[in-house]
Structure 1
Amino acid sequence: MKKILLIVLGVLAVLALGFFGFKKYTKSFSPEAVAETSNNGVNVKVNYSKPGKKGRHIFGREQDKALLPYGKVWRTGANEATVIEIGQGVSIAGKPVEAGSYSLYSIPDQGSWKIILNSDVGQWGTEYNDGKNVLTVEVPIRVKPSVQELFTIYFEDIPNGSNMILSWDQTEAIVSFTRN
């Protein structure tokens, strides 16, 4: 009986080491980052990982072999699902959202993006359950003349709130947060 218990414990230890080793390995390619704002009555914090362009074609049609094809759900970062923490009720692109933690997904397209808040948090980013969506809004994009090598999230102040900017390659999606 002791021998079986030792074998089971040994297997569990190897699995745990493998899991943490894999996690550290993937984070070396897409480092963790935090973006946050506490301005104009809007308190938002985003925990995400920053994938790199690495010479790849990022946004476009599926047949053009784009990394993120138009019309497909993206985890809005890399590795685990991106988590957005909202400190108090706000409006996102004009729709009200309660305070809380949500996974942030998006659907890139040519002229605009859909931003999705999902009540599942803590999962690997590709484990998306659309039945748990709390909010879906369409937001505008802008095209930059320069290339953003690493996916980056940052905030810009606006009257009564902040814009969260999702920036990668030459595309920036603009997500407005205003206080209720």
Structure 2
Amino acid sequence: MKKTVLFFGLLFLALTGANAQTFRGLDKSPMDMAYYPDDYAHDRKFAPAKIGTDKAMVRIVYSRPAKNGREIFGTKLAPYGKVWRAGANEAPEIKFYQDVTFGGKKIKAGSYALLTIPNETEWTIILSSDVDQWGAYSYNEALDVARVSVPVQKSDTVLENFSIQFAKKDAKTATMYLGWDTVLVAVPISF
């Protein structure tokens, strides 16, 4: 556990500027959820004064596979150029509580499957209307709502578990980070 926390703490320290992102330590469940604003559901229940009048903007539910010494990207686990479910088990489900701009594309409030196409230098991030799918085995491009391309950032430190996290940029924008192994991608979101 200490090694995992250390990985999170050291993750992407080599990156400079606004693109650097540090991931929190893991909770015990391999299924995780990230909100923007951060910890919205927890604070709504246990610290309502902390969130004030803020409302949730986006939530994502996903499973966190572990690296376990394996090569990740460009292998059978997450092949380059093929649709990947961004995690393990079911495709992640992302819910926007209001209309947003996701990676420069206008997206209506609602729930979508989050899929990716990893490549060495950039990823395609896909929002699909086909929620509740196991992996990306039943992926149907005709159900794509949006596709955005984002550059890959590399790090010398290793993130042991796949993770997704949101970070506030300013009052109207946030960044969704996806990271695993030595790979990090960032998608801007405007509210």
TM-score by length of 1: 0.76
* Greater fraction of residues in strand: 1
Q: Does 1:51 align with 2:51?
A: no
Q: Does 1:123 align with 2:133?
A: yes
What is residue 100 of structure 1 aligned with on the other side?
110
Structure 2 residue runs without a partner (length 5+): 1-28, 39-53
Q: What secondary structure, in the 3-state scheme, does the structure 1 residue paired with 2:153 have?
A: strand
Q: Which 4+ residue blocks in structure 1 deviate beyond 4 angstroms?
A: 39-42
How many Å apart are 1:66 and its aligned residue?
Answer: 4.9
* Greater fraction of residues in helix: 1
Q: What secondary structure, in the 3-state scheme, does the structure 2 residue paired with 1:55 have?
A: coil
Identity of aligned residues (%): 44
Using the alignment, how far apart are the partners of 2:118 and 2:91 within structure 1?
16
Structure of greater Rg:
1
What is residue 174 of structure 1 aligned with on the other side?
186
TM-score by length of 2: 0.72
Using the alignment, how far apart are the partners of 1:99 and 1:163 within structure 2?
17
Q: How many pairs are equivalent?
A: 146
Once the two structures are superposed, the pairs formed by residues 8-157 of structure 1 within 5 Å of their partners are: 31-38=30-37, 43-60=57-74, 65-125=75-135, 126-157=137-168
Amino acid at match of 2:183: T
Structure 1 residue runs without a partner (length 5+): 1-29
How many Å apart are 1:78 and its aligned residue?
Answer: 0.7
Structure 2 contact 78–84 (Cα < 8 Å) conserved: yes
Amino acid at match of 1:167: G
Using the alignment, how far apart are the partners of 2:37 and 2:168 within structure 1?
10
